[in-house]
Amino acid sequence: MDVFNHYLPWTYKRLSLLPESIWQQLFSPSENVEQDQTYPITNLMVLLYQKITNECDLSTFKKRASLVRWYEIYGKSIFNIEELETKLNYQTQKRREPLKSNGVNLVGYSRGRLGLGEDLRAYAELLKHKGIAFSIVHIGHPTDDPLSFSSPFENGVIFDKSIFFINAIEAAKLLEVVEDLSATFGYTTIIPPWELEHAPEEWAETLDSFDEVWGISHFTTKALSRVHASVKYSAPVVLPCKYESEKRKKNTSPFRFLFVFDAGSYIERKNPLATVQAFQLAFAKNENVELVLKVSNSSDTEHWEKVKLKSLSDSRIKIVDKLLTSSDLEQLWDSANCYVSLHRSEGFGRTIAEALVRKLPVIATAYSGSNDLFLDDYPLLVEFNLVMINKGEYPSSTNATWAAPNIESASALMRYVFEHCETEQINKWRESGAEHVQQNFMLHSKSRPLDGWNV
């Protein structure tokens, strides 16, 4: 059912895509499922459960209970069901209170385990730090984790300024279901992520619908400027580490290289196979080293299958393919000796920033938005060549290029960090890298257009 294929706010225009009789049928108890749970199992619950989990078997009490639990904790969040039910309960649009002028709405995937969710949550901390009132406008997402990321500031649209943390593709879909963007959200700003040198020309009309467009790096700002007359650079917010290390990694442990990435954000772009290849080139199998790949949203792609095959044949390569608690993830970070990202392109590079804040030496491709995170003379950046993007590797990328990091260059740098990790020189790079991120991307950074707003 197309109306549930997009993760957008529920508007009266969006509701009108289905007749009232269909909505009534969706919220009616399912005649095909035994009703033995605390809550009636509706047709909508079954539809959404099958859509997200691909689970069609509801033949046992336990499986039906799992559906109900999933729906109450996750399904309602992913599909904005509370907002949907509120809108359906009004036959005509309720008169809204005038929007207030002393704060900001943050619109996006506030409960999602993805970069855009991190961006919104970090911006909420920035506004709190500055003493600026704000309200979070939650949009559901398949990666929602309501138990970890629900916020008491989720109060809907109440201010006359709104910042959207969504990509331009989703923004175009949003514009199709909102009658009047300004009347609904006030003065609008969008911060759309983008990872290639040129933004698609078809974005021009979508971005022109917003009052301001901000770029998350100088690379992205330049790319967006090709389709919008006035794009402002806005430094993303990098938050301090939440947990303090209880003890330093023991010297007797294997020297650990770490790469944390979201495979759902286009695995060819994240390029973990290059990291594996560089690691295997750098070290013999009898050396006390290991590579840990922490992946989320993995799927059976050709690229990922190659990575898994290499890990199966090399005990030094470990894959962590499961959700971790914040504490467990921080322990993983604390166990690392060096961070490696041989990406083909980054809009910003949040995990690179997090590694630098943690004072890890970082080996990264010397290309795209992640270059903002390094001082000009940072010595651990990997050489690259620009190559054409193959069909299907990234959206809207016809005749576009990105980086192919040099495996030999990366391998030599991994070897160098392994052999010199505790030297004064690398400690100096650690300190300067952390200081650069702290000065330019944390809460007190001045490189944000928000500072000129009258709020």
Domains of the chain listed by start with CATH number: 2-27+37-88 (no CATH), 103-234 (3.40.50.11930), 255-441 (3.40.50.2000)
> Contact, 331 vs 358, CB < 8 A?
no
Q: Per-residue pLDDT averaged across 386-399, rounded? A: 93
CA-wise closest residue to 124 among 82, 93, 67, 165: 165
Q: For position 242, what pLDDT does the model report? A: 66
Q: Per-residue pLDDT averaged across 240-252, rounded? A: 56
Q: For position 259, what pLDDT does the model report? A: 98
Taking each helix axis from N to C terminus, what angle separates 424-441 and 350-357, rounded to the nearest 10 degrees? 120
How open is the CA angle 358-364-368, to the nearest 5 degrees? 110
pTM of the model: 0.93
How many angstroms separate the Cα of 165 from the Cα of each of 191, 213, 214, 403? 6, 11, 10, 26
DSSP, collapsed to helix, strand or coil, labels residue 255 as strand
The percent of residues in the chain predicted with pLDDT above 70, rounded, is 96
- Average pLDDT over all residues of the chain: 93
Q: For position 138, what pLDDT does the model report? A: 97
Structural tokens at position 323: 């959700």
Q: Per-residue pLDDT averaged across 245-257, rounded? A: 66
- Read off the DSSP letter of residue 313: T
Confidence band for 245, pLDDT divided at 50, 70 and 90 = very low
Q: Per-residue pLDDT averaged across 35-63, rounded? A: 94
User: What are 289-335's pLDDT values in tens digits?
Assistant: 999 999 998 888 999 999 999 999 999 999 999 988 888 999 999 99
User: What are 136-165's pLDDT values in tens digits?
Assistant: 999 999 999 999 999 999 999 999 999 999
372/381 Cα distance (integer angstroms):
12
User: What are 329-385's pLDDT values in tens digits?
Assistant: 999 999 999 999 999 999 999 999 999 999 999 999 999 999 999 999 999 999 999
Bigger pLDDT: 365 vs 229: 365
Q: Per-residue pLDDT averaged across 19-30, rounded? A: 96
Structural tokens at position 246: 């209880």
How many angstroms separate the Cα of 279 from the Cα of each of 315, 329, 332, 342, 403? 13, 22, 19, 11, 19
Q: Around Cβ 62, how many Cβ atoms within 10 Å?
A: 7
Indicate if the pLDDT at residue 43 is higher than 80: yes
Indicate if the pLDDT at residue 4 is higher than 50: yes
Strands (E), 216-273: 231-233, 255-262
Q: For position 124, what pLDDT does the model report? A: 97
221/237 Cα distance (integer angstroms):
16
Q: For position 246, what pLDDT does the model report? A: 43
Q: For position 227, what pLDDT does the model report? A: 95
Indicate if the pLDDT at residue 40 is higher than 70: yes
> Contact, 297 vs 264, CB < 8 A?
yes
> Contact, 439 vs 238, CB < 8 A?
no
CA-wise closest residue to 396 among 308, 269, 222: 269
Q: For position 95, what pLDDT does the model report? A: 59
Q: For position 10, what pLDDT does the model report? A: 94
User: What are 414-454's pLDDT values in tens digits?
Assistant: 999 999 998 999 999 999 999 999 999 999 988 899 877 77
Q: Per-residue pLDDT averaged across 396-402, rounded? A: 93
